[in-house]
Amino acid sequence: GFPGTPGIMGMKGEKGEGAFIHRSAFSVGLTGRVPHPNVPILFSKVFYNEQQHYDVSTGKFRCSVPGMYYFAYHLTVYLSDAKISLYKQDRAVLFTYDQFQPNNVDQASGSVLLHLNAGEEVWLQVYGEGANNGVYADNINDSTFMGFLLYPDLDVH
């Protein structure tokens, strides 16, 4: 007899991965002068923290989605010099220093791209012996910290 009819067409491939399945972002601000050196700075004014990956009780961002992140901060320098580091897992990765002079409030900022594995934490902290804790904020002066996932690791899709 004749051969059978050809098989039916294979299934359509899966849809490609979307950009926006993996989201992680926070944007927070300080509500007063940095009170304690040598511990993570607590930013408790929340602009955005939908995924709750920033912990307002510890001041730390904790990575849930492995990938490459952007972090930035903008600090009001008032009353004393400010020396701030961005920490990743107890290591100071980035250092920002700005000296204060009377009647000359300043602004200091920093940003960086870092790859994070799941569970790794990032925060800001006064660097050194605590003399340089001139980071200030009140209800009409901000000092802020933010981060967002830019490129999730390809192998976690």
Return residues touching its own copies (CB under 8 A): 1-20, 23, 25-27, 29, 47-48, 50, 68, 70, 72, 74, 76, 92-101, 103-115, 127, 140-142, 144, 146, 148, 150-152, 154, 157
Q: How far is the CB of 52 from Ca ion (least distance, A)?
A: 35
- Burial code (b: 16+ CB inside 10 Å, e: under 16) for 102-121 equals eeeeeebebeeebebeeeeb
98 is an interface residue for Ca ion by CB under 5 A: yes
Distance CA 81, CA 78 (A): 7
80 is an interface residue for Ca ion by CB under 5 A: no
* Beta-bridge partner residues of 15: none
Using CB under 5 A as the binding criterion, the count of chain residues that bind Ca ion stands at 4
Q: Sign of dihedral through CA atoms 130, 131, 137, 143? A: negative
Residues contributing to the site for Ca ion (CB under 5 A): 98-99, 104, 106
